Amino acid sequence: KSFLNHTAYLSCYFPNSQKTGIEDLRVFWQKGTEEVVHEVYYGQEKLDNLSPKYINRTKMDMDKWTLQLLNAGIVDEGQYTCIIQQRHKGSPKVIHTSECLLHIIANYSQPEIAWLHTGELKPNEYLNLSCSSSGGYPEPKRMTWLISHGNTTRRLTHHMDVSQDAVTKLYNVTSKLNIPVPRNTLTNISCLLHLGEQLGSLVSVPLGI
């Protein structure tokens, strides 16, 4: 995983148990089956075969066998393969391959609750709220409303509207809440954006009614 516009680190996981010198190795990275991302040809970096979008964006740490991909973007997500060949009589032979799957993460803004109606709240009417968060990646799982009064909390999961920016590929999300106006008791309402198992969740500032 790598944060958007930061450096991604992709490892070859090459043990080099034979302690082969880099002057006898050809190391190249490719994305998918077509694009060459980086090539070190018997100790020298070689640019001839690179896909144009990776030129001046990669650095290889030959001590750690790790490729640095600078300014990682959402278009860089995907499967990368590291292939190492050793100089051999005739044609070079492949001595190591490994694969890396790159995921990009962009932080969502803190969810924010907004009123969708004007005027005073009256009993027997409905409370209309929205909760929004923007500028994140990947697409979140869901949004949950938490309605607390006294010692009880209700959780409501409503439909979440999701839109994706055509250029940046970042997501904006909104959920709406429509409930009867709480009566005779202080009620706190928050919304929770679930980003996925490993990414946790974000919670709004609670709204007191």
What's the average pLDDT block by block, 10 residues per block, for the chain (209 residues)?
94 84 88 88 84 90 91 94 87 90 95 86 84 95 92 91 94 94 86 88 92
Q: Under a CB-based contact definition with an 8 Å cutoff, are residues 192 and 111 in contact?
A: yes
pLDDT of residue 7: 96
**Ranges of each domain in the chain:** 2-105, 109-208
- Position 124 scores a pLDDT of 78
Q: Amino acid identity of 121?
A: L
Fold of 109-208: Immunoglobulin-like (2.60.40)
**DSSP H or E stretch at residue 120:** none
Q: Check for a shared fold between 2-105 and 109-208.
A: yes
DSSP 28-87: EEEETTTEEEEEEETTEE--TT--GGGTTSEEEETTTTEEEESS--GGG-EEEEEEEEE-
2-105: CATH class: mainly beta
d(CA 56, CA 170): 25
pTM: 0.82
**In contact, 125 and 110? CB cutoff 8 Å:** no
For residue 50, the model assigns a pLDDT of 84
What digits encode the pLDDT tens for the residues 125-182?
A: 888 999 999 999 999 999 999 999 888 999 999 899 999 999 999 999 999 999 888 8
Burial of 117 (0-12, 13-18, 19+ CB in 10 A): exposed
pLDDT of residue 37: 92
Q: Which residues contact 68 (CB under 8 A, 6 or more apart)?
A: 7, 8, 9, 58, 59, 60, 61
Residue 25, strand partner residues = 86
**What pLDDT does residue 177 have?**
94
pLDDT at 110: 96
Model pLDDT, residue 180: 87
CB 39 within 8 A of CB 51: no
Give me the pLDDT at residue 92, please: 84
Rounded to whole angstroms, how far apart are CA atoms 68 and 57?
8
